[in-house]
């Protein structure tokens, strides 16, 4: 994939990344976060000091494999239960602003 992130001093573009994460950030927030994040990114970049060639990455703290369940149906939640938590709903469906494709 093309490297599309614009490079700031430490390579982080707060506004761009916030948009990837679907969060609107105000100009004030960008102004506050940008130096803080730059500082953190700069600190985190110390990982590059280490030679990690040939080291396997760890994704899980315990080395389990094949944790599987048998195929079988169990009752879940009722429609009333899930609609009780919905910010907006109609006729058993979750409502969202109209999806424009």
Partner 1 sequence: MSWVATIGLETHVQLRTESKMFCACSTGFGAAPNSHVCPVCLGYPGAMPVLNRKAVELTVRSGLMLGCDIPFYSKFDRKSYFYPDMPKNYQISQYDQPLCEGGGVDIVLEGQARRIALTRIHLEEDVGKSMHFRSSSGVDFNRAGVPLMEIVSDPDMHTPEEAIAYLTALKQILLYAEVSDCNLEEGNMRSDVNISIAREGATELGTKAEIKNMNTFRGVQSALRYEIARQIDVLEEGGRIVQETRRWDPDAEMTSSMRTKEDAHDYRYFPEPDLMPVVLTEAQIAAWRATLPEPPAARRERMVSEYGIPEYDAGVLAADKRVGDFFEAVARASGNGKAASNWIMTEMLRLLGDQEMEISDVRVTPEALAGLIGLVDSGALNSNSAKEVFAELFAHGGDPKAVVEAKGLTQVSDSGAIETFVQQAIDANPQSIEDFRNGKTQAAKFLVGQVMRLSKGKANPQMVGEMIERLLSSDD
Partner 2 sequence: MSLDADGALAQAEEADRKRAAGEEASLLGIPVAIKDVLNVTGQPCTCGSQILQGYVAPYDATAIAKLRAAGAVFVGRTNMDEFAMGGTTENSSFQVTRNPHDLDCVPGGSSGGSAAAVGGGIALAALGSDTGGSIRQPASFCGCVGLKPTYGRISRYGLTAFASSLDQIGPMTHDVRDAAILLEAMAGVDPMDSTSVDQSVPVYTAALSGDLKGMTLGLPQEYFVEGVDPEVEAAVRAAVERCRELGAEIREVSLPHTEYAIATYYVIATAEASANLARFDGVRYGSRAEGGTDPIDMYGKTRAQGFGEEVKRRIILGTYVLSSGYHDAYYLTGQKVRTLIRCDFEQAFETCDAILTPVSPTAAYKIGEKINDPLQMYLGDMFTATVNLAGNCGLAVPCGKTSTGLPIGLQVIGPDFGEAQVLRVGHAYEQSEAAS
Which stretches of the chain bind partner 1, using CB under 8 A? 1-2, 4, 16, 19-20, 22, 59-60, 64-74, 76-79, 82-83, 88, 90-101
Applying CB under 8 A, does 1 fall inside the site for partner 2?
A: yes
Nearer to partner 1, 35 or 93 (CB): 93
Closest distance between partner 1 and the C-beta of residue 58, in Å?
Answer: 10
B/e letters for 15-46, b = 16+ CB within 10 Å, e = fewer, are eeeeeeeeeebeeeeeeebbeebbeeeeeeee
Check residue 9 and report its DSSP letter.
T
Per the structure block, which two tokens stand in for 14? Answer: 């707060």
Find tokens 């916030």 and name the residue. Answer: 18
Find tokens 């939640």 and name the residue. Answer: 77
Site mask, partner 2, residues 19-38, x = CB under 8 A? xxxxxxxx--x--xx--xx-
Q: What is the CA radius of gyration of the chain?
A: 22
Instruction: Summarize as ranges the residues that interact with partner 2 (CB under 8 A).
Output: 1-5, 11-12, 14, 17-26, 29, 32-33, 36-37, 39-41, 43-48, 50, 52, 55-62, 64, 67, 69, 77, 81-82, 84-88, 94, 96-100
């Amino acid at each position: 994939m093309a490297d599309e992130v614009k490079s700031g001093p430490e390579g982080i573009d707060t506004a761009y990344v916030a948009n990837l994460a679907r969060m609107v950030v105000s100009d004030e927030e960008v102004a506050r976060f940008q130096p803080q994040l730059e500082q953190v990114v700069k600190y985190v970049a110390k990982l590059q000091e280490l030679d990690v060639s040939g080291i396997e990455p760890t994704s899980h703290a315990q080395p389990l494999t094949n944790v599987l369940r048998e195929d079988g149906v169990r009752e879940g939640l009722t429609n009333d239960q899930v609609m009780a938590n919905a910010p907006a709903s109609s006729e058993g469906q979750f409502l969202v602003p109209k999806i424009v494709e």
